[in-house]
Amino acid sequence: MRSDRLHRVARAAASLSIGAAALAASFAHASDAAATAAGSGPAAPPAPATSAAPAAPSAAEAAQPTGAAAPAKAYAQTPQQQVRYGNAIAFRTLIPSPLLEQLTANEYAQIVQTAADSNRLLPANQPRVKRLRAIVAKLAPYSVKWNDRVKSWAWDVNAIRSRDIRLTCLPGGKVLVYGGMLDRIRLNDDELGVLLAHGIAHALREHARSNFSATSQTSLRAAALPPLFGVGDPLPQALNLGERLQSLHYEPTDETEADVIGGDIAARAGFDPRAAITLWDKLAVATRANKATGFIYTHPYSTARRQDLLNRLPDLIPLYAKAIGKRVDALPDYAGISAQRRKVVRRAAG
């Protein structure tokens, strides 16, 4: 008994140390971000950059999945250097990433089961579901460099019969697409690939955290404490976040980050990055009238963000050309957009 108590005390002490370190990191990150926003203090350091495109993923890595208003500042930089908000994502709150993935997986399973019970879940052999899963299978291997946890994700892709124009991708690789996105928008494969990569980028950076209400955050922390200190049930119950998870609202800074990361993933997987322009223009036309849950309002889209997407193309098109085995100068125009766009480098004032 004494030995058991000592082990529990030691485990709790270790967890306290981890929690303290996480809090310190969070406070430091918040201070740096505030200082940067105010024009003083150091900017958050970029993630390690890779100058060369990674080798093609192995067949094992590409396992089949189952059932911006604020402009970027330096387009001549690598995608990692353009991500200005991406440090210490595992401890943005006291909820560890594995627990967040577990909670969202539980909620996702409930959504899928409810759709199945009401005969709204499209079967796995349905052509639209097969198409979605094939595209995600191409994208998934190129997401690993942005979040090492992807190696342990159990990808799951499903589609629901609905006129809603919605798509959700959650931490842990859970992807849910509503019928309106497939039937009403009529996206080609490049556009759908760019859209799914954008959603995956939101999941990689755990942007869903900010969508939980204050009450939900309290419940999440309560669920996190027992596993954090090595006691209690490590499998938390669902927190009834289903509707919130199906209609996530993102900040303009989240959209900038998802555009950078998603564009890199899509281009390396062989999807034309120029499709981002036609994709978001189509979504703007289709969802502009619904200011409550329209896709261009939950994923803020503005003229500034559209220009940012255009300005990043010179960095992304070479990745796309390499992925499909062509020279940039051999690529045809896409929707009137040339493959040989000049880079735009923004210079600091003064």
Q: How does pLDDT run across 147-196, given as a tens digit for each residue?
A: 999 999 999 999 999 999 999 898 899 999 999 999 999 999 999 999 99
Domain-wise residue ranges, the chain: 1-44, 51-330
Alpha helices, DSSP H, located in 269-302: 275-287, 295-298
191-242 pLDDT, tens digit per residue, is 999 999 999 999 999 876 766 544 455 555 555 444 444 444 444 444 455 5
If one compares 266 and 299, the residue with the highest pLDDT of the two is 266
Instruction: State residue 42's pLDDT score.
Output: 40
CA atoms within 13 A on the CB side of 276: 32
Has residue 84 got a pLDDT over 80?
no
pLDDT category of residue 12 using cuts at 50, 70 and 90: very low
Q: Which of 123, 122, 157, 152 is nearest to 138 (CA)?
A: 157
Instruction: State residue 289's pLDDT score.
Output: 84
Instruction: State residue 102's pLDDT score.
Output: 86
Q: What span, in angstroms and rounded, lies between the C-alpha atoms of 159 and 111?
A: 11
| Residue 144 token pair | 């690993």
Instruction: State residue 225's pLDDT score.
Output: 45
25-70 pLDDT, tens digit per residue, is 443 444 444 444 444 444 443 443 443 444 445 444 444 565 533 3
Q: What angle do CA 122, 126, 131 make, to 5 degrees?
A: 105
| Residue 259 token pair | 């555009």
309-343 pLDDT, tens digit per residue, is 999 999 999 999 999 999 999 999 999 999 987 66
- Residue 81, H or E segment: helix 79-82
- Please count the other Cβ atoms lying within 10 Å of the Cβ belonging to residue 127: 8
